[in-house]
Chain A
């Protein structure tokens, strides 16, 4: 579904990604982790072509991102993305947030879009919030709306960029619950997160990154029980110590 082949990227003299390769198959849930500044967010943003890459190739659902003939807009419409800061559109109601891209990109009519939006709001447990504005919702609620918004586009896979990092601890659970359910339904997911509990519970594989390079790519059980590198072991022990 997603294949990352030997991708490199630099900001000026700073090497952000250094020859990264990974393969994610349909229905797989892959967690990307690593210390801050390791390039994991950059990697996931490259998969949605939000960041250009200088070398290597990324192919999503058979379409190459690096091919200049590729219509990035159409590709992005099929890849759902959830951001750390939710990025709901503050001047629109929740329902308008859900409908905007359905109407503008998929050319659905408004009633159809609203019906779909309402179904997904129900699924994330927020059907009663449809007419409110984002600023009236809690962080956890906003992030669930953001997931529903991405699902409205019927994505072939979902990218999560630290979806719980800017949430208050008591709200992390409600967002993870939605994500777990999504994974159980067979959605292909690539998730950048520090939530090791989530990784242990649903991830098929864990990718560990440091200093722009992928150091480990292992089934999650293997990664947690017997990390292959000293760096990953240290990272894990530090996370679990606290």
Chain B
């Protein structure tokens, strides 16, 4: 019991952190920070074509990126620091707001929609682009507008406004769509092109960009009446009027001087890297108007827009808000409900993967320790090495992305036709189970080899068959030896299940990131999820200790040794 207590202590530790006076994020002003550190960090996207993405040789390029570099140039001039270092930092939809908030990134120009929720956490510059949210689909899919999506699988990128719109539409209009939230636009597009979704909903300009990446762009069309209009802005920290004014002035100058239109033409109506394709996305009236009269109008009506009237500059700290867990999500229910859903998936995935891992791993371990069948032993060894020496993450991607492509045509199609949660769950389940089986096999082998040879000989000498010797003597002993290492393997399964976050399964750590996207309250989300993992850990440890006590043999020390 004292050991269990010891593990409880992290809770106390975390409480101390939570209750101690929080360090106030010194809002010394971005310009001063830049001046003092001699560097500015710009946040860019990795696959938001053509706004901000990697061209050839991993160079960041794009429409928004060009604008951002202009702004950085203006800052250089303003501060009279020709040697100012410009650092680039890739961000994604799920971490961009946090990174701006926590001071890692000073300015982010990519494809971030200016909306009310985000304005609570960060400030937006003048609008740099106006898009409509539409659909990308195969020409032959039959999907022409949002109404056609009922009952179909639709992909969108996690943490975007499209994701929220799509969820809300699905709930309100009972369209019975299956929604996949991919990690970034590139992944969303891959899910579309590999046939796992019929349509990809996103900002139209991005859809044109993804279409340009396709092997045959003419197979894909952007369609549907825009569900919403979105205004992209650059993000920076809140309440830093000096910095924001400098950014806005620079952007306005670029727009009114006609330079912005040239930059537009460069990225939207001319060939662009990496494949030299032309997006053919002519400038819209809304954009023309924006360039004439730069502004920071956003298109969500529920919040009075920022007028630019100076708000008093004040030191802002982090606003703790544990109530956020009990407040309603866009799709109904509370955020706490998201966490319990995450907990459910984590437990379901881990426990089922563990059972399969035992089922596979124990025979493999026996085969691995076999002295009589070299072929069997070598096969088991090949299995163990194969699954042990490839990172779990790579294995997961192979199961999820590559395997369906390698299956014979109709099979692959059938797999991709399943509900997305089913696909994600199956991939994660098989991946975790086969991976863990290799580890279980090693533990079983080690235990069997640790049993003195005489035990098997004694069993055989009594006339038991080899199988009976395993069943009644060797395995029961091995089981006791392996119990402690198996406990930690079992705990590893829970921890490893968090890797499933990368293919979009809504398990616990994915929920943490999604909670951050939606609420922009990273501390609460991460602390809550960490506590849940600790809770799982304690429960398993407690259960396994009970089991160990139940199996203890009088006169023997733990682990079955004399």
Q: Is the CB of B553 within 8 A of A73?
A: no
Taking CB atoms, residues of chain B closer than 8 Å to A83 are 454, 457-458, 461
Taking CB atoms, residues of chain A closer than 8 Å to B468 are 104-105
B273 part of interface (Cβ distance < 8 Å): no
B465 part of interface (Cβ distance < 8 Å): yes
Partner of A50, one of B455, B461, B463: B461
The residue on B at minimum CB distance from A100 is: B472
Q: Bound state CA distance, A146 and B462, in angstroms? A: 11
A133 part of interface (Cβ distance < 8 Å): yes
B476 part of interface (Cβ distance < 8 Å): yes
Which bracket fits the contact residues of A? 20 to 34
A7 part of interface (Cβ distance < 8 Å): no
Take A133-B553, A134-B555, A136-B554 as given contacts and tell me if A90 and B461 are in contact as well, using a CB distance cutoff of 8 Å. Answer: no
B464 part of interface (Cβ distance < 8 Å): yes
Taking CB atoms, residues of chain B closer than 8 Å to A50 are 457, 460-461
B332 part of interface (Cβ distance < 8 Å): no
Taking CB atoms, residues of chain A closer than 8 Å to B290 are none
Q: Bound state CA distance, A136 and B554, in angstroms? A: 7
A30 part of interface (Cβ distance < 8 Å): no
B394 part of interface (Cβ distance < 8 Å): no
Take A91-B477, A135-B556 as given contacts and tell me if A81 and B458 are in contact as well, using a CB distance cutoff of 8 Å. Answer: yes
A224 part of interface (Cβ distance < 8 Å): no
| Count of B interface residues, CB-CB < 8 Å | 24
Take A50-B457, A85-B452, A133-B555 as given contacts and tell me if A91 and B480 are in contact as well, using a CB distance cutoff of 8 Å. Answer: yes
Q: Is the CB of B562 within 8 A of A74?
A: no
The residue on A at minimum CB distance from B471 is: A104
Most buried by A among B462, B480, B555, B562: B462
Chain A residues 78 to 98 lying within 8 A of chain B, measured CB to CB, are 78-81, 83-85, 87-91
Q: Is the CB of A105 within 8 A of B457?
A: no
> Scoring B residues 468 to 496 as 1 if CB is less than 8 Å from chain A, else 0, what string do you get?
10001100110010000000000000000
Taking CB atoms, residues of chain A closer than 8 Å to B560 are 90-91
The residue on A at minimum CB distance from B480 is: A91
> Scoring B residues 529 to 562 as 1 if CB is less than 8 Å from chain A, else 0, what string do you get?
0000000000000000000000001111000101
CB B11 to nearest CB in A, in angstroms, measures: 37
The residue on A at minimum CB distance from B452 is: A85
| Further contacts, 20 of them, CB under 8 A, given A80-B461, A85-B454, A135-B556 | A73-B464, A76-B460, A76-B461, A77-B462, A77-B463, A83-B454, A83-B457, A89-B473, A90-B477, A91-B553, A101-B464, A104-B468, A104-B472, A105-B464, A132-B554, A135-B554, A135-B555, A136-B555, A150-B461, A153-B463
6 residue pairs, one from A and one from B, having the closest CB atoms = A77-B463, A135-B555, A87-B458, A101-B462, A81-B461, A136-B555
Q: What are 16 sample pairs from A and B whose C-beta atoms fall under 8 A apart? A: A48-B461, A73-B463, A74-B463, A80-B461, A83-B461, A89-B458, A89-B472, A89-B473, A90-B560, A100-B462, A100-B464, A101-B464, A105-B464, A105-B468, A132-B554, A135-B556
Give me the interface of B with A, judged by CB distance under 8 Å: 452, 454-455, 457-465, 468, 472-473, 476-477, 480, 553-556, 560, 562
